[in-house]
Amino acid sequence: MSDVRVRRAVASVAGRYSAVLALMLFLLLPAIWLVLSSLRPNREIFTSMPSWSFLGLTLDNYEWALSERGMGMVQLLATTLFVCAATAVLTAVFAMLAGYGLARYQGVGARAAVVILLLAQMIQGPMILIPWYSVTAQLGLLNTRTVLILIYQTITLPAAVWLMSSFFRRIPQELEEAAAIDGAGRLRTLAQVVLPIAMPGVAAVTMYAFILAWNDYQYALTLTSSRTTKTVQVGIAQVMESLGATNWGGIMASGVLAIVPVVIVFALVQKTLISGLTAGAVKG
Amino acid sequence: MTEAVSAAIGTGGRGAGRVRGRTGAWMRGQGFWLALMSPVLLFLIVTQFWPLVDTSRISVFDYQPTRSPDSTFVGVQNYVDLFVNDRRFWIITRNSFLWMLGSTAVQVVVGTAGALVLNMNLRLRGLWRGLMMVPWVTPVVVVAIIWRWMFDGGENGLVNYYLGQAGLLSDPLVWLSSDVWVWPVVLLASTWKGTPFVILLVLAGLQSLPGELIESARVDGAGAFKRFRYVVLPHLRPTLAVTTLIALVTVWFKFELIWALTTGGPAFATTILPIYVFTQAFRDFNFGMAGAVATIAMLTLLTVVGVLGLLTRLRKEGSS
């Protein structure tokens, strides 16, 4: 009797962990394969059969990826880091204000504000690119980092405002009422009472904006191409097209370098971000 | 009575003050919150809603900026050209539905399964939940590198090699150059990239499911499948509706993954409407035509979302 029960418990544990293993293999193996291949000497990459061995690894591909005569990742990463950081800071400031407003506003058009935010998340990419291109060309903003920072706000702001407001709603309003009784103005209350509590949320939203901006390809592809304005993705894609299959090792090393910054940023705020994203989605 | 009169006289006598007082009171009341929101709302209207309207406006013009800076009104000519004269258009429309519905369906199914797995009682659950987001943070161009490399057409390409070893493939398959075999690669890559976010949302839905419900179903003798079908799934339905909507919109407008993998090729085999907007606008610089395709793309999305919404509503009414 107990033997059966033990066997059944073991089978259930084995089943559970093999399911997790299968899921993780699907989600992680391709990335691991990328890292491993990027460490293999380029001449081996095409000539030999796939290998999962850790022997004979080299950093040559990374040298090529970073050098100016190779992929020039230093310049690409610097540009992208600057654009994404600026996007994130700008988004954080405006989304913080708007999110606070959205969390507390109960007057006319409160629903309209929500509808505008939701619709804005659906109006993306090809739907807005043509006027953006024409207008920024007229303003002489094509091929600048400014235009990227501006258009990235359309990716980041709708979701960021939504997230911020869900963080602010969790803060009890009595705190603000107490501050008001003490004679603090509303902006002062926001700065001195509300923000310190909402800080983890603000940090998470800032990093979320950074990740979203880092993930853009289509806007950068359309609006930038010069050496000092193109982003990591545009740079790698251009080289991939022109070099074709000749230096896969170097391209893969560049790919790894392009993931590292976002992985770090995500790891920093993972907990708050995931709880915020899920809370917002369930309510929405 | 006298109070009312004096109040009326008082306010009447200080008209300007009354207005200022009212604005002041409004700013101390609801207006303050509106003022906080307005910069963002105005920005979104100017940078997203206006461009959307402008895109559909140029769809009734012949506007090719590299040929002539002027645009001439042509009515529905661009649409007629697309529907009647453009043989690629219908192939692209078919691809669009294949991509939109196929990619979304696979993502939601795999994501739900993944969420059920990660909702089980596991050691290091937090670690797994963090690690599973790796594809989500991976930029599309890098996703393209990974999947192009795994599905390399040579005999030493990872997939070709293992399929060959397993005896399933006698000659290496040049995946990305075949109109048929390019699709599994594109769909697989988009599933890889999109599934983590679906898992995240469905997990949130699962966590609000009371454990006692499952337990009592178990006591009643319901097997794993029945528990899922009659307890878990009905509870998840609203979450799945939101998740499907988010996946649908993302899959539609984030055409960049296909672009990075195949640039819509071979020929037009993986071109979808949003990609066609891009090539019409920024390869051929035919802005009028691109505007028409963009308008159709937006209407297609709205139709699909509308039909799905209707279906879920009917479902809800049918079950209640």
Question: Using one digit for the tens of pLDDT, what is the confidence trace for B276-310?
Answer: 999 999 999 999 999 999 999 999 999 998 998 88
Cβ under 8 Å to B: A residues 52-91: none
> A69 to chain B, minimum CA–CA distance in Å?
21
pLDDT at position B66:
84
According to the model, what pLDDT value does residue B270 have? Answer: 92
Distance of alpha carbon A99 from its chain centroid, rounded? 20
Q: What is the predicted pLDDT for the residue at B65?
A: 86
Instruction: Measure the CA–CA gap between B142 and B108, rounded to whole angstroms.
Output: 23
The CATH class of the A61-283 domain is: mainly alpha
Q: Among A51, A31, A29, which Cα is nearest to A41's?
A: A51
By three-state DSSP, how is residue B73 classified?
strand
Structure token pair of residue A61: 């591909």
A167 to chain B, minimum CA–CA distance in Å?
A: 16
Contacts with B, A 153-212, CB within 8 Å: 153-154, 157-158, 161, 186, 211
CB-based contact, B195 to chain A, within 8 Å: yes
User: Which residues sit opposite B72 in a β-bridge?
Assistant: B62
Predicted TM-score of the model (pTM)? 0.89
Strand partners, B73: B61
Using the beta-carbon criterion (under 8 Å), do B128 and A20 form an inter-chain contact?
A: yes
Contact A27 B49 (CB under 8 A): no
Q: Which CATH class is domain B72-319?
A: mainly alpha
Q: Domain spans of chain A?
A: 2-59, 61-283
Q: Which residues contact B128 (CB under 8 A, 6 or more apart)?
A: A20, A24, B118, B122
A122: distance to nearest CA of chain B, Å?
6
The H-or-E segment that residue B72 falls in is strand B72-73
**Cross-chain Cβ contact A222/B282 below 8 Å:** yes
Q: Where are the domains of chain B?
A: 2-58, 72-319
What integer pLDDT is reported at residue B16 of this predicted model? 45
Q: Determine, for residues B36 and A49 on separate chains, whether the beta-carbon distance falls below 8 Å.
A: no
A20–B204 CB contact, under 8 Å: no
Tokens representing B293 are 């395709």
pLDDT in the model for residue B18: 54
Angle CA(B307)–CA(B312)–CA(B316) in degrees, nearest 5? 145
Distance between CA atoms of B259 and B276, rounded to whole angstroms?
11
ipTM value: 0.90
Residue segments in chain B with a per-residue pLDDT below the cut of 50: 1-17, 320
What is the rounded distance in angstroms from the CA atom of residue A42 to the CA atom of residue A132?
41
| pLDDT value for A281 | 54
Which residues of chain A fall below pLDDT 70? 1-2, 244-245, 279-284
